[in-house]
Amino acid sequence: AQKITQTQPGMFVQEKEAVTLDCTYDTSDPSYGLFWYKQPSSGEMIFLIYQGSYDQQNATEGRYSLNFQKARKSANLVISASQLGDSAMYFCAMRYLNTGGFKTIFGAGTRLFVKA
């Protein structure tokens, strides 16, 4: 069965430093997509970065990069040069093809606190 695991309920990071948010997944499907979303206190889900299972290179989007370790089934998010506005809840998600179509499941989330 497909599963997404985020083991860090909360993380603290000093402003301007880098932080890594962990995510591991489990699937037997060869084709899947991995996502990271940011959810600030307003509740809106903001797409950050995507990694396809067949992508050879790690995805990068500005200050966000995804450390994709396929053999270890991990897809950690790295935020470089943290900013106060990065304080939010972060969700890792995996999309796969189900019998009824594409389905996305989410991890439990990690709350990031950026300290000034």
CA angle 71, 77, 82 (to 5 degrees): 155
To the nearest whole angstrom, how small is the minimum distance from the Cβ of residue 99 to another protein? 9
Cβ(15)–Cβ(113) under 8 Å?
no
Rounded CA gap, 40 and 61, in Å?
18
To the nearest whole angstrom, how small is the minimum distance from the Cβ of residue 94 to another protein? 12
- Cα–Cα nearest to 89, from 25, 41, 18: 41
Smaller CB distance to another protein: residue 56 or 116? 56
To the nearest whole angstrom, how small is the minimum distance from the Cβ of residue 17 to another protein? 26
Smaller CB distance to another protein: residue 68 or 91? 91
- Cβ neighbors of 106 (< 8 A, separation 6 or more) are 4, 37, 91, 92, 93
Smaller CB distance to another protein: residue 18 or 108? 108
Smaller CB distance to another protein: residue 50 or 64? 50
Residues in the site for another protein, rule: CB under 8 A? 33, 35, 37, 42-47, 50, 52, 91, 95, 100-109
The encoded tokens of residue 27 equal: 């699937």
To the nearest whole angstrom, how small is the minimum distance from the Cβ of residue 39 to another protein? 9
